């Protein structure tokens, strides 16, 4: 399989998806073994003399040498900055250390950061690049499923504050994204399953065929042919690309990517983050679909199709957490507008609606959708 979708050079087994946002155009390279091309891709897309790889303590030992070798083969002088793995390190203190590290490595405005890792690393590397010298280029090299299908594309980069997740950041589009599906071999099966929550979300948003496929069998790394991994990651990137091309700054259409997230964030926080993000999104998606069915906003067939896919992926379809706790966290979501919030309703398969609801109606949706499924 070889599919070229942009002007960039693609190799056999690689899909290249062009992203065109108002602030930057770039290619997302999805393939098996594409990690060895990071240097050549960075050279074409970003140029520069120096490349600094930003990674963390779990991913660095696995892939940093290969990425550095590829960058050196493409003529870069390289350095590597490694920070401690874990969401708790996605903070201003780590950012400061990374910025000092970029200065120490002598990167100039023409040089490039290579963010190698999962979602936390994409945020840290992207935000460091956005701030250093008022902005240098970044190549995103996602190694987790969540980062490949979601966070590496679209330019959202942030750190957490004591008051909440992702409260301090920028839109900073990468110069290229390189997603090597072979890196998924190093992902824990439970984390892989969790991340499929975002894949189900994309399928509900824009791809009923993918949703039907997801309801037939679990999407795991084990026994999954590389071609299928590439196809599914690339399809998710296309779905996200179509949204961010149309609305880079989340003024309209990009809000639809929050499908499942309003109740999902409430569930994730009320579980004290013991439930993974993707699992929380999956449960939030089902709860919102159940509430939408009760309100007459979607048909039973839509609800059933969503439930079937989430169930087949071994993800939660409901929550037993107390409504008060879930609602309290939802009501403090950073996406709240005054006393109301935009929610995303799965109106049809492949077509969602954004509705503005007041806090009492939001509470009603929690009552209707959470803990009321047969499986709760
Ligand atoms: N993950 C949602 C977005 O990038 O907008």
pLDDT at 6: 52
In the chain, the DSSP E strands lie at 3-4, 14-20, 25-31, 50-56, 77-83, 112-117, 137-142, 156-161, 164-171, 176-180, 340-348, 351-358
Q: Report domain extents, the chain.
A: 3-187, 247-369
pLDDT tens track for 340-357: 999 999 999 999 999 999
The answer to whether the beta carbons of residues 112 and 48 sit under 8 Å apart is yes
Entry pTM: 0.94
pLDDT over 80 (residue 4): no
What percent of the chain stands above pLDDT 70?
97
Name the token pair of 325: 């706790």
Confidence of residue 374 (pLDDT cuts 50, 70, 90): low
Contact predicate 137/175, CB 8 Å? yes
Partnered with residue 177 across adjacent β-strands are 28, 140
Choose the residue to mutate in 197, 198, 206, 257 for probing ligand 1, maximizing ligand atoms within 8 Å of C-beta: 257
Ranking 86-90, 140-144, 218-222 by mean pLDDT, the lowest is 218-222
Which residues have a Cβ under 8 Å from the Cβ of 86 and sit 6 or more positions away? Answer: 56, 120
Q: How far is residue 246's CA from residue 241's CA, in Å, rounded to a whole number?
A: 8
CA angle 167, 200, 376 (to 5 degrees): 90
Furthest-apart CA pair in the chain: how many Å? 60
Q: How many residues make up the chain in this entry?
A: 376
* Distances 214 to 116, 219, 239, 366 between C-alpha atoms, Å: 28, 7, 16, 26
pLDDT of res. 338: 87
The mean pLDDT of 165-176, rounded to a whole number, is 96
Question: Mean pLDDT, to the nearest integer, of 24-44?
Answer: 98
**Predicted confidence band at 5 (pLDDT cuts at 50, 70, 90)?**
low
Q: Is the pLDDT of residue 220 over 80?
A: yes
C-alpha triplet 32, 37, 43: angle, nearest 5°: 150
Mean pLDDT of 3-9: 51
Mean confidence (pLDDT) of the chain: 95
Centre of ligand 1 to C-alpha 23, Å, is 16
**Three-state SS string across 130-156, please?**
HHHHHCCEEEEEECCHHHHHHHCCCCE
Give the mutation target among 19, 28, 146, 150 for probing the ligand 1 site: most ligand atoms within 8 A of CB. Answer: 150
Task: Express each pLDDT in 294-339 by its tens digit.
Answer: 999 999 999 999 999 999 999 999 999 999 999 999 988 878 888 9
Determine the pLDDT at residue 7. Answer: 46
Distance 138 CA to ligand 1 centre (A): 18
> And the tokens for 206?
């824009």
- Identify the pLDDT of residue 144: 97
Cα 325 to Cα 22, 161, 334: the distances in Å are: 39, 21, 16
Contact 283, 319 (CB under 8 A): yes
pLDDT surpasses 80 at 44: yes
Residue 327 CB coordination number (10 Å): 21
Q: Is 200 helix (H, G, I), strand (E, B) or coil?
A: helix
Does the pLDDT at position 154 exceed 50?
yes
Q: Is 254 in the pocket of ligand 1 (CB under 6 A)?
A: yes
For atom 3 of ligand 1, the residue with the nearest CA is 257
Residue 244, pLDDT > 60, answer: yes
In this prediction, residues 110-116 reach a mean pLDDT of 98
pLDDT digits (tens, 9 = 90+) for 174-210: 999 999 999 999 999 999 999 999 999 999 999 999 9
Supply φ then ψ for residue 141, to 5 degrees: -120, 85
| Region class of 116: left (phi > 0), else alpha (psi between -120 and 50), else beta | beta
Least confident of 96-100, 140-144, 371-375: 371-375
CATH class of 247-369: mainly alpha
Is the pLDDT at 3 greater than 60? The verdict is no
| pLDDT for 212 beyond 50 | yes
Least confident residue range of 16-25, 149-158, 331-340: 331-340
Nearest atom of ligand 1 to the alpha carbon of 156: 4
Please indicate whether residue 257, judged by its CB atom, sits closer than 6 Å to ligand 1: yes
Which residue from 299, 259, 301, 300 is spatially nearest to 283, judged by alpha carbons? Answer: 259
Q: Is 156 in the pocket of ligand 1 (CB under 6 A)?
A: yes
Would you state the pLDDT for residue 375?
A: 59
What share of the chain in percent tops pLDDT 90?
Answer: 91
The per-residue pLDDT for range 230-242, each reduced to its tens digit, is 999 999 999 999 9
DSSP annotation of 120: H
What pairing do the DSSP bridges indicate for beta strands 112-117 and 50-56?
parallel
CATH of domain 3-187: 3.40.50.1970
* Cα–Cα distance for residue pair 213/221, rounded to 1 Å: 15
């Amino acid at each position: 399989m070889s599919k070229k979708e942009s002007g960039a050079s693609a190799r056999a087994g690689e899909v290249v998806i062009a992203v065109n946002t108002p602030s930057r155009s770039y290619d997302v390279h999805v393939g098996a073994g594409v990690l060895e091309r990071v240097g050549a891709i960075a050279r074409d897309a970003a140029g520069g003399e120096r490349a600094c790889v930003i990674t963390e303590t779990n991913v660095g030992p696995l892939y940093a040498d290969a990425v550095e070798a590829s960058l050196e083969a493409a003529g870069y002088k390289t350095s590597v900055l490694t920070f401690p793995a874990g969401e708790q390190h996605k903070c201003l203190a780590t950012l400061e250390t990374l910025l000092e590290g970029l200065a120490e490595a002598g990167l100039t405005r023409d040089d490039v950061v290579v963010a190698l890792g999962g979602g936390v690393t994409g945020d840290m590397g992207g935000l460091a690049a956005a701030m250093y010298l008022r902005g240098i280029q970044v190549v995103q090299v996602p190694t987790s499923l969540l980062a490949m299908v979601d966070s590496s594309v679209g330019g959202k980069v942030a750190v957490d504050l004591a008051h909440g997740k992702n409260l301090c950041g920028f839109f900073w589009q990468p110069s290229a994204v390189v997603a090597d599906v072979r890196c998924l071999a190093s992902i824990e099966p439970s984390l892989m399953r969790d991340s499929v929550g975002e894949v189900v979300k994309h399928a509900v948003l824009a791809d009923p065929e993918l949703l039907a496929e997801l309801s037939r069998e679990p999407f795991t790394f084990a026994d999954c042919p590389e071609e299928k991994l590439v196809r599914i990651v690339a399809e998710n990137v296309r779905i996200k690309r179509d949204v961010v091309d149309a609305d880079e700054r989340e003024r309209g259409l990009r809000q639809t990517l929050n499908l499942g997230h309003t109740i999902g964030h409430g569930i994730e926080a009320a579980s004290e983050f013991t439930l993974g993000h993707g699992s929380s999104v999956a449960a939030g998606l089902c709860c919102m679909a159940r509430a939408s069915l009760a309100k007459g906003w979607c048909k039973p067939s839509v609800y059933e199709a969503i439930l079937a896919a989430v169930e087949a992926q071994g993800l939660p379809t409901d929550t037993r957490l107390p409504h008060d706790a879930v609602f309290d966290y939802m009501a403090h979501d950073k996406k709240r507008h005054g006393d109301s919030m935009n929610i995303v309703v799965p109106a049809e398969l492949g077509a969602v609606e954004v509705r503005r609801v007041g806090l009492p109606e939001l509470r009603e949706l929690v009552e209707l959708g959470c803990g009321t499924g047969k499986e709760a």
